[in-house]
Amino acid sequence: MSINIHYCGYSQHVQPFFSYYKSGFPAYLFRLQTEGSCEITAKGTRMEVNKGDLLLIQPGEHYELSIREKNENINEPAVLSGDYHLVCEGKWIEDWWRRSVKPTISRIDLDAKLLSLWHHLIVEERRPGEANELSGYLLKALCLSIERMVNETSFPYVVTRMLRFIEEHATTAFKLEDAASHSGLSVSRAAHLFKESVGKTMIEYALEIRLSEAVERMKYTSMTLEQIAEECGFGTYPYFHRMFHRKYGIAPGVYRRER
């Protein structure tokens, strides 16, 4: 699959740590800070990296990692720093890297789906034996997920948090207050900022996700339309029917029979 995974894992540091690559890092490095903080020097710039920050380094780039002793006068957790990291190379990675801008540091937060994917890749890489084909596909999925999250940083950070919250909870009966609270905003401010940035309301965005989920279930499951309406967050079938007809121009039952 033109991918070589040198190392994939998770680290916790409870003692100061320093790492330095004088001649540049030898491969592509992905590092997501999950606990505590550290200092990174890359491309001649020293940066503080905090929880939710993603570091991307390409081969040959200067890289230093410094994890400092905690301040004894401040009540800090025992873990100084924790991170998921991945070191890899190969033609597919090179092509993926070149096709869009890859900032050295991006604030992507700790997305449950991304962490689960990263953990799955770690587990697969621990399996003994020959090269694991599944690891290659997991790595591609991880890269594509990261690319989407990095691209979302064009939105204000609080809008990105709302987007991910809605994507995670669209099929439940969440309230606008929940999405706003998740981003630390009032409902009115959250609604205005979301519409201004995304071009649609939070409800419209959630509705798109619900309809997409409903279509998938109509195609690939034997669930009744009433069950689909409930499972996808519409609550009642009449509301589902109305929203579906508004988007696709036909009733859900007709859509299902034609496909």
- Choose among 217, 210, 209, 208: nearest CA to 259: 217
Answer for the pair 61, 43: CB distance below 8 angstroms, yes or no.
Answer: yes
Q: Can you tell me the distance from the alpha carbon of 126 to that of 14, in angstroms, rounded to the nearest whole number?
A: 24
CATH number of the CATH domain containing 237:
1.10.10.60
Q: How does residue 75 score in pLDDT terms, banded at 50, 70 and 90?
A: low
Q: How does residue 242 score in pLDDT terms, banded at 50, 70 and 90?
A: very high
Q: How does residue 254 score in pLDDT terms, banded at 50, 70 and 90?
A: very high
174 Ramachandran zone, left/alpha/beta (phi>0; psi -120 to 50): beta
Answer for the pair 136, 91: CB distance below 8 angstroms, yes or no.
Answer: no
Instruction: From 152, 181, 215, give the residue that closes a domain.
Output: 152
Instruction: From 122, 152, 182, give the residue that closes a domain.
Output: 152
Instruction: From 123, 152, 181, give the residue that closes a domain.
Output: 152
Which residue type, as a one-letter code, is found at position 223? M
Structural domain harbouring 38: 4-152
Same domain, 130 and 209: no
Number of domains observed in the structure of the chain: 2
DSSP state of 43: T
Residues 174-199: tens digit of each pLDDT? 889 999 998 899 999 999 999 999 99
Same domain, 81 and 195: no
Phi, psi of 82 (to 5 degrees): -140, 145
pLDDT of residue 74: 55
Answer for the pair 200, 155: CB distance below 8 angstroms, yes or no.
Answer: no
Mean confidence (pLDDT) of the chain: 90
What is the mean pLDDT of the segment spanning 49-56?
94
Same domain, 102 and 197: no
Q: Can you tell me the distance from the alpha carbon of 92 to that of 99, in angstroms, rounded to the nearest whole number?
A: 11
Has residue 61 got a pLDDT over 70? Answer: yes
- Token pair, residue 78, equals 């025992």
Q: How does residue 239 score in pLDDT terms, banded at 50, 70 and 90?
A: very high
pLDDT > 90 in the chain, percent: 69
Same domain, 138 and 161: no
DSSP state of 69: P
Same domain, 133 and 176: no
Instruction: Please indicate, yes or no, whether the overall pTM of this predicted structure exceeds 0.75.
Output: no
Query: Could you give the C-alpha distances from 128 to 32, 60, 120, 135, in angstroms and in order?
Result: 26, 30, 15, 12
Answer for the pair 240, 234: CB distance below 8 angstroms, yes or no.
Answer: yes
Q: Can you tell me the distance from the alpha carbon of 96 to that of 48, in angstroms, rounded to the nearest whole number?
A: 27
pLDDT of residue 82: 94
Same domain, 9 and 88: yes
Residues 132-169: tens digit of each pLDDT? 789 999 999 999 999 988 887 667 888 988 998 998 89
Residues 94-104: tens digit of each pLDDT? 999 999 889 99
